[in-house]
Copies of this chain bind each other. A is one copy, B any other.
Amino acid sequence: MKIPDRKKEILRAIIDRYVGSAEPVGSKSLSAELQLSPATIRGEMSELESQGLLEQPHTSAGRIPTARAYRVYVDELMRRHELSLEETAQLNRALRGRIEELDSLIAYAGRVVSQLTNLPAYAAAAPRAATISRFELISVDARGFIAVAMRSNDEVVSKLVRLPNPIPDGLLLKASAVLNASFTNITDERVTELLLNSTARAIGDTVGLTAILAQFVIETLTEPPTELTVSGSARIFDYPEYRDADKARRLLEYLAGDSSPPTLPAPDDGADVKITIGPENLAEELRDSGVVVTRCAMGDGTDLLVGVVGPTRMNYAGIVTKLKYLTSGLATINSEQLTINNFGTGDDST
């Protein structure tokens, strides 16, 4: 669809105004800004309406943009948004805040973004494929030992194991040798029944050690379902479109994920920002909301996803800018941290 320049200007003006006010915008209020008489603008508006880009809540109200209009806006009309000095300062302050480990970084990024955009935000670590690079079994007492595994991404996982029967002398040592020989640097698909059986034989297992170690290996290799944190969901109350308790409820329930974890959009590999508007969203509950989400590579091979959810009329330009600034800052800080002080990045104690 080719849209003449003047129509574009008008559409952009309507969207910019509606994003701020959430109220239908009429022709008269635009005439000053666009240097056109209301009548002219009305004419263009009614054409935009027949193209499905504007709609009227009722006769004799102004026009509001449709979801399609936002799509056009995001793809073609959006002006690059400049961060104000204050906003940059706020972002820098947030970035300088201590970031200690991945878990809390996820939640932290979500909180910062939510606060910055005044919208509900979600953050998650994208799944990562790790292998185990090192095993260690530490004897604790006759029946107990600590299993420690170091992941290829430098995370450490450990677990206390107690068996019903005493562990024969030397078994732990042998098991640890076999684990390091057979189970390091492989992905989880390669941990097969066959491998497990041969391991059991190699160890000479008489106390049921193999089954437990196998579980440990598999748990360690298969990342726990990507944890998702949602921050600031109460901020939707700032937007009149969620004044209706039912609408607010539906979105909040969805984000809280009490029944089923919410499936939120994520940028395709490569794309750095993904915007889905209204009906473009897969989830029924997001069909009248907009989502902006970005992906940010962390040093250790993990990707961080951060996004916001809000009314379709949200300030896409501003949000995109803020998200980009934040993720680029995070990436920088993260790489610095990796270089200068590695202590803490492998932490898994919380």
CB within 8 Å of B: which residues of A?
A: 111, 114-115, 134, 136, 138, 140, 144, 146, 148, 150, 154-162, 212, 215, 219-220, 224, 231-234, 237, 243, 245-246, 248-249, 252-253, 256, 258, 342-350
Pick from B148, B233, B252: contact of A146, CB under 8 Å? B148
A156 touches B146 (CB 8 A): yes
B159 touches A159 (CB 8 A): no
Counted per complex, copies of this chain come to: 2
A157 touches B160 (CB 8 A): no
Q: How far apart are A324's CB and chain B's nearest CB, in angstroms?
A: 23
Give complex CA distance A161, B341 in Å. Answer: 9
Give complex CA distance A348, B157 in Å. Answer: 8
Given contacts A140-B134, A234-B258, A249-B234, contact A158 B157 (CB under 8 A): yes
Majority DSSP secondary structure for residues of A touching B: mixed
26 A-B pairs within 8 Å (CB atoms) are namely A114-B258, A115-B258, A136-B138, A136-B146, A138-B148, A148-B158, A156-B159, A156-B160, A158-B348, A158-B349, A159-B343, A159-B348, A161-B343, A161-B346, A162-B346, A220-B349, A224-B350, A231-B258, A232-B258, A233-B256, A234-B249, A234-B252, A234-B256, A234-B258, A245-B245, A348-B348
Pick from B150, B237, B252: contact of A160, CB under 8 Å? B150
Q: How far apart are A171's CB and chain B's nearest CB, in angstroms?
A: 16
Give complex CA distance A155, B140 in Å. Answer: 12
CB-defined contacts of A148 to chain B, threshold 8 Å: 138, 146, 148, 158
Q: How far apart are A135's CB and chain B's nearest CB, in angstroms?
A: 10
Q: How far apart are A109's CB and chain B's nearest CB, in angstroms?
A: 14
- Which residue of chain B has its CB nearest to the CB of A253? B234
A159 touches B234 (CB 8 A): no
Give complex CA distance A115, B253 in Å. Answer: 13
Give complex CA distance A287, B108 in Å. Answer: 29
CB-defined contacts of A224 to chain B, threshold 8 Å: 350
CB-defined contacts of A342 to chain B, threshold 8 Å: 144, 160-162
Q: How far apart are A127's CB and chain B's nearest CB, in angstroms?
A: 14
Pick from B157, B245, B350: contact of A237, CB under 8 Å? B245
- Which residue of chain B has its CB nearest to the CB of A344? B159
Q: How far apart are A242's CB and chain B's nearest CB, in angstroms?
A: 8
Give complex CA distance A344, B140 in Å. Answer: 15
CB-defined contacts of A343 to chain B, threshold 8 Å: 159, 161-162, 212, 215
- Which residue of chain B has its CB nearest to the CB of A104? B224
CB-defined contacts of A212 to chain B, threshold 8 Å: 343
Interface centre among A155, A158, A232, A253 (most CB of B within 10 A): A158
- Which residue of chain B has its CB nearest to the CB of A151? B160
CB-defined contacts of A157 to chain B, threshold 8 Å: 158, 349
Given contacts A161-B346, A245-B248, contact A146 B140 (CB under 8 A): no
Q: How far apart are A15's CB and chain B's nearest CB, in angstroms?
A: 26
Q: How far apart are A122's CB and chain B's nearest CB, in angstroms?
A: 13
Give complex CA distance A243, B244 in Å. Answer: 9
CB-defined contacts of A111 to chain B, threshold 8 Å: 258
CB-defined contacts of A231 to chain B, threshold 8 Å: 256, 258
Q: How far apart are A11's CB and chain B's nearest CB, in angstroms?
A: 31
Q: How far apart are A150's CB and chain B's nearest CB, in angstroms?
A: 6
A155 touches B150 (CB 8 A): no
Q: How far apart are A250's CB and chain B's nearest CB, in angstroms?
A: 8
